[in-house]
Structure 1
Amino acid sequence: MTRAPENRGTSQIDPGTSSWLRTRNDREALRLILEHGPLTRSRLGELSGMSKPTATQMLARLERADLVLPVGEVAGSRGPSAVSWGVRTDRVAGVAVNMLDESIQAVLVDASGAEHPIVDLPVQGTERSPEADIARAIDAACAAAGADRGCIEAVTVGVQAAVSGGGDALSLTDSLPGWPSSGARARIERELGVSVTLENDVNLATMAERAIGVAQQASSFAFLWVGVGLGVGVDLNGSIHRGMHGSAGEVGYLTVAAGTGAPGAVTTDLLGEQVILELLGSHGGAGQGSIAELVEDDVVMNVVADRIALTLEPVLAVLDPAVIVLGGPTCLAAGARLAQLVAARAEREERPAPDVLLSGTGDSAVLVGARRLLVEQIRARLEERIPTD
């Protein structure tokens, strides 16, 4: 769904010419500094295979383009300290956004991928629209990070919706008041002057799990998100499967009957957060109205495990993933014990059972996935700024 950057790089230069070689070397130098952090010219030369004079020239060109700057000194065993060079994170930045039912989460993202404060903006009583919501998110994220609003060029937004139509059509959602079913991305881009990627929130959480979570080595996995609503992210060999209309994995609308005691119920009516809270209350919970009580109630835990296993049946039958990852507020509150209970219920004599694991990305998984997409986009934009002559 991310639009390809403008093709303004080395493809406009004849391969093998001195200009082509300089641009190629400069791009490699920028990538190495982004990958390894600040580098001295000697270390840059070692990593790139270039001589010190060539490394010096690369750094000089990148500095003239306002892409790198001196950030410190590294003491050597002999002679004076060497200057280290880092990428300028104030040139291009982005904001990752997670649209929740009652608030908007946002965080600044820069080329280095450094951590910045996450802000949580309540939406009750505010005038809602795509451009108004994202403008608030950008302003708050920049203020929290002490960043200049003018450097924001890209935004990735996690939404509780199926995203299709070239990334600008939303369906299967009731959590975005004031947002149209189509054209939201275009409105944000037009009004705010930033590039926008809209993505399903569970898909973003699935990307995060592949990148830094428990499914890094899995050949394929399904990420079941259980919270206010339900959704499944499907990762097939490192690629997200979205389906023709972006609605792959929308299991919250799946009708189930067997073993539920409620024929014709949809899975959200069995596993939605409010339903779990009611189960906890009816079973003599602490009465605090918190999903955190789930881990202490073994009876309700087993009911939840039964319902998750039922929800996963079609996923296992159709996709046969190597791993099931349980995430979202409900699963995180229940902890590893829930994964064990679900794993036991997934065992069948007629088929091998997948591993069932608790998510390793925490309660900010959606923002983690959005941040990773943005880091790639921001770095690509920085590369585009490398002079070609």
Structure 2
Amino acid sequence: MTSSPAPGTPGWLALRNDQAALSLLLDEGPLTRNRIGELTGLSKPTAAQIVSRLEEGGFIHAAGELSAGRGPNAVTYDVRLDRSLGVAIDVDESVLRATVVDARGSERPVVIVPIDAAHPRSAEGDVRQAIEAACSAADVDPGAIVEIVIGVQAANDPAADRLNFTDTLDGWPMQNARGELEAGLGIAVTLENDVNLAAIAERADGAGADAPGFALLWLGEGLGLSIDLDGAILHGATGGAGEIGYLPAPRTAMAIDPDADDLQELAGGAAVARSAASALGRRLDYAEALAALVAEPERILPDLAVRIAFALTPVIAVLDPSLVILGGPTGIAGGAALAEAVSAALRASSSWDPDVRTTGAPSDAVLLGARHVLVSRLRARLLPD
């Protein structure tokens, strides 16, 4: 459905009616001709014409029958979701997570593909693996994939097609990554910073759903920040907004960690491990520190909350958000107790007192955000302006 007849013409009106019916079917699921007419406010003959056009165009198909009591059963129609599919991909340092997505956002299996560090990597190789695994798990034809959205641990400058601030994409080109992927795969590609995708998930299904805006602080092996302004993500001029791990640690933080040169060293994964190890009196790696944070929060939270408050202070000073969301592995492990402790640390050290919450989209937040972007893109293919 790509034609664009002149506004006000019969063709334009028919196109708008067809789009309204498709939108209803995407939102409501299978409907009869009569129900389409009722929900659109159109007459039965007009609804019948819409169904005929959409069925002939291959946009919808007969999905079943609905008992109408006396008389023949009514045929229900649904969108041909299998015609245009997408794959959402989260490229982690050690694994690829992927799932097939359709224009309705139907749930499909999430696959995890380990990255083999013993073999050379490439952007196309990684993405092909993810697509093939996701399509196999969902039992769909890879040839139906028309869009992919990829979350990367990098700042993405779409205008220059350049990736910046990353050390986890071995074998990927920093320049023209999207262009190379699209040329090699023959599929539309969107690259997006992983924390920005997690913020999209928070806006759609998480702690930021009802907020006018928020700052999502991603606390994992690395630090990241995403700024939501009433539903729009602030990317910055070159996609680098939110790369706060590179900011120098404040002098006032020397009291708790004199060796931390930047915020990454103050509150990133290695710092969480050091903080937990100091509190518990034994050596821990990051994964062990997260487990300890869940098991013995009262011993670890005091120092950790102060570290995170130091990392948040410059963000709050510049943006003054009403809501701060703590996401990522550390945010999930710390939960509501960590959010409360960080809020208290902020009040103790500054005049700022934003609402601090734990993530509301803790499970595969990056992948969930990529799915939401894909649903929007796939619907736009069916419902062009």
TM bracket (short chain): over 0.9
Question: What do residues 289-336 of structure 1 show as CA deviations (whole Å, max 9, x unaligned)?
Answer: 532221223222221111111100011111010100010011101111
1:71 aligned counterpart, secondary structure: strand
Question: What do residues 351-373 of structure 1 show as CA deviations (whole Å, max 9, x unaligned)?
Answer: 45111111111131111111111
CA distance in 2, matches of 1:51, 1:146: 39
From 160, 164, 173, the counterpart of 1:180: 173
Alignment partner, residue 215 of structure 2: 222
Alignment partner, residue 184 of structure 2: 191
Cα 1:285–1:333 shift into 2, 3 Å: farther
Alignment partner, residue 258 of structure 1: 252
Structure 2 unmatched ranges of 5 or more: none
Alignment partner, residue 36 of structure 1: 28
State the Cα distance separating 1:258 from its structure 2 match. Answer: 1.4
Amino acid at match of 1:279: S
CA distance in 2, matches of 1:292, 1:76: 57
Alignment partner, residue 144 of structure 1: 137
Amino acid at match of 2:267: L
Residue 364 of structure 2 corresponds to residue 371 of structure 1? no
Contact 1:168 1:198 in 2 (8 A): no
Alignment partner, residue 196 of structure 2: 203
Greater CA drift, 155-164 or 265-274: 265-274
Residue 272 of structure 2 corresponds to residue 276 of structure 1? yes
Cα 1:293–1:167 shift into 2, 3 Å: farther
TM-score by length of 1: 0.92
Alignment partner, residue 163 of structure 1: 156
1:255 aligned counterpart, secondary structure: coil
Structure 1 unmatched ranges of 5 or more: 1-6
Amino acid at match of 1:99: V
Residue 85 of structure 2 corresponds to residue 93 of structure 1? yes
Contact 1:329 1:363 in 2 (8 A): no
Contact 1:167 1:197 in 2 (8 A): no
Question: What do residues 203-226 of structure 1 show as CA deviations (whole Å, max 9, x unaligned)?
Answer: 000011111111111111000000
Contact 2:155 2:166 in 1 (8 A): yes
CA distance in 1, matches of 2:318, 2:216: 15
Cα 1:17–1:309 shift into 2, 3 Å: same
2:11 aligned counterpart, secondary structure: helix
State the Cα distance separating 1:15 from its structure 2 match. Answer: 1.9
State the Cα distance separating 1:383 from its structure 2 match. Answer: 3.2
CA distance in 1, matches of 2:160, 2:56: 36
Alignment partner, residue 118 of structure 1: 110
Alignment partner, residue 47 of structure 2: 55
State the Cα distance separating 1:74 from its structure 2 match. Answer: 2.5
State the Cα distance separating 1:101 from its structure 2 match. Answer: 0.7
From 4, 17, 23, the counterpart of 1:25: 17
CA distance in 1, matches of 2:233, 2:381: 24
2:106 aligned counterpart, secondary structure: coil
Q: Percent identity?
A: 45
Greater CA drift, 178-187 or 293-302: 293-302
Alignment partner, residue 293 of structure 1: 292
Residue 71 of structure 2 corresponds to residue 82 of structure 1? no
Contact 2:212 2:230 in 1 (8 A): yes
Cα 1:230–1:78 shift into 2, 3 Å: farther
1:367 aligned counterpart, secondary structure: helix
2:36 aligned counterpart, secondary structure: helix
Amino acid at match of 1:223: L
1:32 aligned counterpart, secondary structure: helix
State the Cα distance separating 1:22 from its structure 2 match. Answer: 1.1
TM-score by length of 2: 0.93
Greater CA drift, 79-88 or 156-165: 79-88
Alignment partner, residue 3 of structure 1: none
Contact 1:328 1:363 in 2 (8 A): no
2:190 aligned counterpart, secondary structure: strand
Alignment partner, residue 319 of structure 1: 319
Cα 1:97–1:145 shift into 2, 3 Å: same
Contact 1:212 1:361 in 2 (8 A): yes
CA distance in 2, matches of 1:308, 1:78: 67
Alignment partner, residue 331 of structure 1: 331
Cα 1:261–1:274 shift into 2, 3 Å: closer
Residue 208 of structure 2 corresponds to residue 212 of structure 1? no
